[in-house]
Amino acid sequence: MLHKTPLGQVLGLGSARAGTGHFIAQRVTAIAGIPLVVFLIGFILVHRRASRAEIVASLENPVVAILLALTLINLLWHMRLGLQVVIEDYVHTPARKHLLLLLNIAFTAVMGISALYAILKMSFGL
Amino acid sequence: MADSRQAGRPLSPHLQIYRRTLTMMMSIVHRATGMALYAGTLLLVWWLMAAAISDSYFAMVQSIFGSWIGQLVLLGFTWALIHHTAGGIRHLIWDMGRGFDLASVETSARVTLAASVLLTIALWAIAYGVM
Ligand code: HEM
């Protein structure tokens, strides 16, 4: 049964039926984030005074490269979902809200693709 | 905000009316650290990109992060990351339906705060070779 007035249906407002999936993905990426953050802090700590060559050498190990890529993708995904909720909580002007929601997606996409580019390039020894 | 005398009905008071409590600050700080970390990923990706680009550019970026202001920002980043992760674990425990009574919520707030500060200090002590 659809709990919507005919006008509501026409306007296309109301639940987009995506809320539960969003909630679950936020928790799953949070749980996965716990060990991945430990790895990330460890990686940064080990390389805090490293030269470029030393970082390249570490990333030539595929386990390290894949773990680092996984860490970034997971955290970026988590933060995109998180910021979406923040925007929806505070921004109610439709135009501004939709613009910010799009910028949120664009920003995370650029971050993710840049991170993957950097990690892959170095892991191929370049 | 709407004036309650004009609204002609009782309105709940706005934020500054309430007494500040630790649990309320923890909630705000979880959101604030989430947003700060969001911006902070820019620094992380910049660092990785620099390492992928060239020796001289990476050395330049490392020296910026190594400057006192860079270190200060990274210290804040470290605390925000640890505090948000610990606070996230607190949220996940609540999601399992545990620890949501007033006494536990108060205790876990203190534990989270203490743990995030101590872990941050410990990490930086290791980084500077004190430990
Ligand atoms: C770079 C790393 C991270 C970033 C950028 C980030 C970002 C965010 C953002 C923007 C939010 C939304 C805040 C809100 O709605 O108030 C959020 C919420 C959340 N984060 Fe993170 N986060 C990160 C790491 C983690 C980790 C490692 C965990 C692991 C436990 C975690 C657990 C959570 C949880 C459980 C929530 C939901 C809180 C709620 O229901 O209000 N986060 N995060």
Q: What is the pLDDT of residue B9?
A: 84
If you ran DSSP here, which 8-state letter would residue A93 be given? S
pLDDT tens digits along A94-111: 999 999 999 999 999 999
Segment 22-41 of chain B within 8 Å of chain A by CB: 31, 34-35, 37-38, 41
Which of A24, A27, A44 is the best mutation test for B, with the most CBs of B within 10 A?
A: A44
pLDDT tens digits along B24-43: 999 999 999 999 999 999 99
Domains annotated for chain B, with CATH where assigned, are 20-127 (1.20.1300.10)
Q: Which residues in A lie closer than 8 A to residue B38 (C-beta atoms)?
A: 79, 82-83
SS (H, E, C) B68-117: HHHHHHHHHHHHHHHHHHHHHHHHHHHHCCCCCCHHHHHHHHHHHHHHHH
- Compute φ and ψ for B97, nearest 5 degrees: 85, 20
| Chain A residues with CB within 8 Å of chain B CB | 27, 30-31, 33-34, 37, 41, 45, 48-49, 51-53, 55-56, 72, 75-76, 79, 82-83, 86, 111, 114-115, 117-119, 121-122, 126
Share above pLDDT 90 across residues of chain A, in percent, rounded to a whole number: 84
pLDDT of B13 higher than 60: yes
Q: What is the pLDDT of residue A86?
A: 98
Spatial contact of B33 and B112, defined as CB atoms under 8 Å apart: no
Q: What is the pLDDT of residue A33?
A: 98
B47: number of Cβ within 10 Å: 19
pLDDT tens digits along B98-115: 999 999 999 999 999 999
Q: Could you tell me how many residues make up chain A?
A: 126
Which tokens is A30 given? 């949070």
- Cα A119 from Cα B47, distance rounded (Å): 11
pLDDT tens digits along B63-98: 999 999 999 999 999 999 999 999 999 999 999 999
**CA-based nearest residue to B99, from B109, B114, B113:** B109
Spatial contact of A59 and A47, defined as CB atoms under 8 Å apart: no
Q: What is the pLDDT of residue A18?
A: 87
Q: What is the pLDDT of residue A9?
A: 72
- Cα A105 from Cα A92, distance rounded (Å): 18
Spatial contact of B79 and B118, defined as CB atoms under 8 Å apart: no
Instruction: Report the Cα A18 to chain-centroid distance in Å.
Output: 17
pLDDT of B2 higher than 90: no
Helix, strand and coil content of chain A, in percent to the nearest 5, comes to 80, 0, 20
Q: What is the pLDDT of residue A61?
A: 98
Residue B92: CA count within 13 A, CB half-sphere = 17
If you ran DSSP here, which 8-state letter would residue A17 be given? S
Query: Of A11-25, B6-20, B44-58, where does the model show the most confidence?
Result: B44-58
Domains annotated for chain A, with CATH where assigned, are 17-123 (1.20.1300.10)
- Cα A38 from Cα A40, distance rounded (Å): 5
CA of B28 from ligand 1 middle (Å) equals 12
- Cα B26 from Cα A21, distance rounded (Å): 26
